[in-house]
């Protein structure tokens, strides 16, 4: 068998938007808080690839097994790898998977299995070319194939709607959803492009303390500010960073920050642990 597209194929991307688009040309889907993944099934071979094209199958053996068990000889799925803690996604558990020890990966796959939430179908046989068809037709084929997904299994069909009001409700709902993606129904799958999709992220704001800073790579100028929040016990916990610093401001800001260096810094959770920004 030979699939029409192979690992290394770039997924379609979405451009940022501040609000949901209007009109009857759009399909709305939840934006999941996980790892973007293209899954290739070619007989007994499974390839899971990240958005950047890196292989993921060794880190998610339970998803590989679920795809192998599908009654489908060949196929290419676009979706998101998500680990749930009750009804919320656990992004830190995904980061834990990217571990060099296979024994550790196997343990985590049993204790916290990932799910592959599928939102597009690019091929369902060795000679299909669904990626050239409009989204409306790809979605219909995906829904037909999704009837073969075992109920309660690790492969799920992502919901979709053409009802803008429903998409607005998804934006207001917390949990595993990180926002909404809007896709043009009459567009083909545009590999590596941002022409036919927009993403609207749910905005969450907080007033943070600047608890420290990092120097830029191979530089003695500030690269990012380390952000913290105080808890009820009065401890300052690291919660993220801010790196939108203009080059013209870095030298003066570095001098100002260096004068402020003194203990105790972060007294709770410190920078350097697993986070959605670490690799």
Phi-psi label, residue 44: left if phi above 0, alpha if psi -120 to 50, beta otherwise: alpha
Among the listed residues 31, 41, 183, 199, the single catalytic one is: 31
User: Between 239 and 180, where is the model more confident?
Assistant: 180
Is there a single domain that holds both residue 68 and residue 179?
Answer: yes
Is there a single domain that holds both residue 185 and residue 233?
Answer: no
Rounded-to-10 torsion of CA 204, 209, 211, 215: 60
Lowest mean pLDDT among 15-24, 70-79, 84-93: 84-93
pLDDT over threshold 70, residue 278: no
Residue 221 belongs to some domain of the structure: yes
Task: Give 228's strand partners.
Answer: 209, 238
Which DSSP letter does residue 132 get?
G
Q: pLDDT band for position 174 (50/70/90)?
A: low
Q: pLDDT band for position 99 (50/70/90)?
A: confident
Instruction: Kindly report, residue by residue over 39-50, the tens digit of the pLDDT.
Output: 999 999 999 999
Q: Are 226 and 212 in contact (CB under 8 A)?
A: yes
Query: Any catalytic annotation for residue 31?
Result: yes
150: CATH: 3.30.470.30
pTM attached to this predicted model? 0.76
Is there a single domain that holds both residue 160 and residue 233?
Answer: no
What's the length of the chain? 279
Number of domains, the chain: 2
Q: pLDDT band for position 194 (50/70/90)?
A: very high
- Give the number of other Cβ atoms within 10 Å of residue 209's Cβ: 14
Is there a single domain that holds both residue 29 and residue 166?
Answer: yes
Domain of residue 183 covers 15-201
Is there a single domain that holds both residue 72 and residue 152?
Answer: yes
Is there a single domain that holds both residue 228 and residue 131?
Answer: no
Is there a single domain that holds both residue 99 and residue 214?
Answer: no
| Domain stop point among 182, 201, 220 | 201
């Amino acid at each position: 068998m030979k699939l029409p597209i192979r690992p290394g194929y770039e997924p379609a991307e979405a451009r940022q938007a501040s609000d949901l688009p209007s009109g009857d040309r759009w399909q709305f889907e939840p934006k999941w808080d996980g790892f973007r993944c293209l899954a290739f099934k070619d007989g007994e071979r499974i390839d899971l690839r990240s958005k950047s094209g890196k292989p993921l199958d060794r880190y998610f053996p339970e998803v590989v097994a679920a795809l192998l068990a599908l009654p489908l000889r060949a196929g290419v799925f676009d979706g998101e790898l998500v680990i749930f803690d009750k009804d919320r996604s656990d992004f830190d558990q995904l980061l834990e998977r990217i571990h060099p020890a296979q024994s550790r990966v196997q343990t985590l796959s049993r204790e916290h299995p990932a799910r592959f939430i599928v939102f597009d179908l690019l091929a369902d046989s060795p000679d299909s070319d669904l990626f050239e068809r409009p989204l409306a037709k790809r979605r219909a084929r995906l829904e037909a194939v999704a009837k073969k997904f075992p109920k309660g299994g690790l492969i799920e069909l992502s919901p979709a709607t053409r009802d803008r009001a429903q998409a607005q409700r998804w934006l207001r709902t917390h949990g595993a959803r990180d926002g909404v993606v809007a896709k043009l129904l009459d567009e083909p799958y545009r590999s590596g492009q941002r022409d036919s999709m927009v993403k609207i992220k749910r905005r969450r704001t907080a007033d943070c303390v600047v608890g420290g800073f990092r120097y830029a790579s191979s530089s003695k100028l500030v690269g990012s500010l380390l952000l913290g929040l105080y808890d009820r016990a009065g401890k300052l916990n690291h919660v993220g960073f801010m790196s939108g610093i203009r080059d013209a401001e870095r030298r003066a800001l570095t001098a100002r920050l260096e004068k402020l260096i003194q203990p105790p810094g972060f007294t709770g959770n410190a920078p350097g642990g697993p986070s959605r920004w670490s690799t």
